[in-house]
């Protein structure tokens, strides 16, 4: 298994709520067993070990066992409530990035781990499992676990108060999108040969399932290409909706070369939903959904849409800067991958905001200011996309704003003119 596929699988595991509590539970049990092993390894130092009253330790462990179960239950309830809040107030597509929150998973793991540790230690202690050194080690571990729990709880209280709130959700989606954009800016062709438009030459390799491309194992594709002396052109980037009738890639081989399509198809991980990892456009779509819901008549929250515009401006500005300084050397020299389209990314985020916010002067004005800044970024592709969307947004605003003064405010914030728009 390649490194890229391993990282992809590890990221999927990190999204599972059971993983960290399970690991912490194992460590808790190992801690109790370590205390027993210490009984037979420190006879020469037993006179230096203070004697701990087993009854006092038993009481301490009993308090921990009873309290940790309550706190763990409270934490799960709070997290579920926060997840439901994020899905209802922002967008259900934000659930993946919210559930992967490290602070909440670490807190839940600490509470459940402390509960398991106290139960195992208490059972062993009541059955005279430990001698003097073992009791001392167990006492030290108990104090250490108590300290971890207290520190975790204090830090987690602030985090759980914010988890699921709109600002926190936007921040987490922005962080996930920025990470995906950074990865793509540093490897525009996924470490393969870069081409602005995918070539349609060669033998087509079709998908074997309906779903979204979640990950492309470039190392595996390179291996298959070298084995068959082939050259591969990828056409289905991560985030692409595919079906058995859709082409994943085109393979050019030498004459009479045997080609096992299964090997190539298995290099494309296809799943039922899009993921943030390798799909920057999905993050932008999620941000647009948050803005679209905020601009709906039922919610009527233009402030959130303005916050989203600021978020997107940061993302595209950083992305443009990274693209200018990218000097990628291809690692997979037999695979050609098309670049991520800036036009498509602008369509993903700005179309919804321009459409739903056209009748709100504050949103339309901020949209024009954001697009004007992006148009002056020095990135020609980004400039072209920003000008196109700026002109279309002006046309939408003109047809939606009732007062001429409002439209004048929007045009003054813009460097674009609807007269030059050609919709044909």
Stretch among 80-89, 138-147, 168-177 having the lowest mean pLDDT? 80-89
- Is 348's pLDDT higher than 90? yes
* Whether the predicted pLDDT of 196 surpasses 70: no
**pLDDT tier at 51, thresholds 50, 70, 90:** confident
What are the tokens at 365?
A: 């004005």
Radius of gyration over alpha carbons of the chain, in Å? 28
| Cβ–Cβ < 8 Å for 265, 211 | no
Q: What is the reported pLDDT for 255? A: 61
240/372 Cα distance (integer angstroms): 30
**Distance from C-alpha of 157 to C-alpha of 148, rounded to nearest angstrom:** 14
pLDDT of 108 over the 60 cut = yes
Could you give the CA distance from residue 114 to residue 210 in angstroms, rounded to a whole number? 43
The two most distant CA atoms of the chain are separated, in Å, by 92
- Average pLDDT in the 135-159 region? 84
| Region 344-365 average pLDDT | 95
- The pLDDT score that the predictor gives to residue 421 is 41
How much is the pLDDT for 424?
A: 33
Q: pLDDT band for 262, please (50, 70, 90 cuts).
A: confident
Q: Is the pLDDT of residue 284 over 60?
A: yes
- Of 225-229, 259-263, 335-339, which range is least confident? 259-263
Q: Which of the pair, 20 or 44, is modelled with greater confidence? A: 20
- For 363-376, write each residue's pLDDT tens digit: 999 999 999 999 98
Q: How far apart are CA 77 and CA 83, in angstroms?
A: 10
Q: Which of 283, 285, 275 is nearest to 352 (CA)?
A: 285
Q: What is the pLDDT of residue 20?
A: 78
Rounded average pLDDT over 86-111: 79
Q: Would you list the domain boundaries of the chain?
A: 3-164, 188-271, 280-328+341-420
CA distances from 344 to 4, 198, 348 (A): 25, 15, 6
pLDDT at 3: 62
- Please compute the mean of the pLDDT values over residues 54-62 and round it to a whole number: 84
Model-level pTM? 0.82
What pLDDT score was predicted for residue 328? 67
pLDDT of residue 69: 82
Segment 11-18 shows an average pLDDT of 72
Higher-pLDDT residue of 193, 313: 313
Residue 419 pLDDT greater than 50, yes or no? no
| Integer angstrom CA distances of residue 119 from 60, 65, 217 | 11, 6, 44
The whole-angstrom separation of Cα 173 and Cα 156 is 20
Comparison of pLDDT for 45 and 155, the residue scoring more: 155
**Residue written as tokens 């709130």?**
165
Greatest mean pLDDT range, 298-307, 323-332, 409-418? 298-307
Specify the CATH superfamily of domain 188-271: Pyrimidine nucleoside phosphorylase-like, C-terminal domain (3.90.1170.30)
Residue 50 has pLDDT above 80, yes or no: no
How far apart CA 129 and CA 34 sit, in angstroms, is 12
User: Which of the pair, 250 or 134, is modelled with greater confidence?
Assistant: 250
Higher pLDDT, 257 or 185: 185
* pLDDT of amino acid 55: 81
- Mean pLDDT in residue range 290-296: 93
Judged by average pLDDT, the poorest of 73-77, 224-228, 397-401 is 73-77
pLDDT at residue 114 is higher than 50: yes
């Amino acid at each position: 298994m390649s490194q890229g596929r391993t990282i992809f699988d590890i990221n999927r595991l990190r999204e599972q709520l059971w993983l960290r509590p399970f690991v912490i539970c194992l460590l808790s049990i190992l801690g109790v067993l370590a205390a027993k092993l210490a009984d037979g390894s420190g006879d020469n130092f037993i006179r230096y070990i203070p004697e701990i009253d087993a009854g006092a330790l038993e009481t301490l462990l009993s308090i921990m066992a009873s309290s940790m179960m309550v706190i763990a239950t409270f934490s799960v309830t709070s997290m579920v409530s926060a997840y439901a809040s994020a899905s209802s107030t922002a967008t259900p597509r934000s659930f993946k990035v919210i559930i992967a929150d490290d602070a909440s998973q670490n807190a839940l793991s600490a509470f459940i781990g402390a509960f398991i540790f106290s139960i195992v230690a208490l059972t062993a202690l009541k059955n005279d499992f430990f001698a003097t050194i073992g009791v001392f080690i167990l006492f030290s571990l108990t104090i250490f676990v108590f300290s971890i729990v207290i520190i975790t709880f204090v830090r987690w209280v602030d985090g759980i108060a914010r988890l699921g709130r709109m600002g926190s959700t936007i921040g987490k989606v922005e962080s996930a999108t920025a990470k995906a954009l950074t990865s793509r800016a540093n490897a525009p062709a996924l470490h393969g040969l870069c081409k602005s438009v995918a070539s349609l030459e060669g033998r087509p390799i079709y998908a074997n399932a309906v779903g979204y491309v979640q990950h492309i194992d470039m190392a595996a594709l390179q291996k298959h290409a070298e084995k068959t002396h082939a050259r591969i052109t990828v056409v289905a980037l991560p985030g692409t909706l595919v079906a058995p009738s859709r082409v994943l890639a085109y393979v050019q081989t030498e004459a009479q070369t045997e080609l096992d399509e299964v090997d190539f198809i298995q290099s494309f991980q296809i799943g039922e939903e899009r993921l943030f990892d390798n799909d920057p456009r999905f993050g932008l779509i999620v941000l647009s959904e948050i803005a679209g819901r905020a601009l709906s008549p039922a919610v009527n929250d233009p402030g959130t849409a303005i916050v989203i515009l600021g978020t997107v401006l940061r993302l595209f500005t950083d992305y443009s800067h990274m693209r200018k300084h990218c000097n990628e050397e291809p690692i997979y020299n037999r695979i050609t991958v098309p670049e991520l389209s800036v036009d498509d990314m602008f369509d993903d985020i700005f179309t919804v905001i321009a459409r739903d916010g056209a009748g709100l002067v504050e949103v339309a004005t901020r949209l024009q200011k954001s697009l004007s800044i992006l148009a002056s970024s020095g990135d020609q592709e980004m400039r072209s996309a920003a000008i196109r969307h700026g002109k279309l947004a002006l046309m939408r605003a003109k047809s939606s704003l009732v007062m001429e003064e409002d439209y004048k405010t929007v045009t003054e914030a813009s460097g674009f003119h609807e007269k030059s728009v050609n919709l044909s």
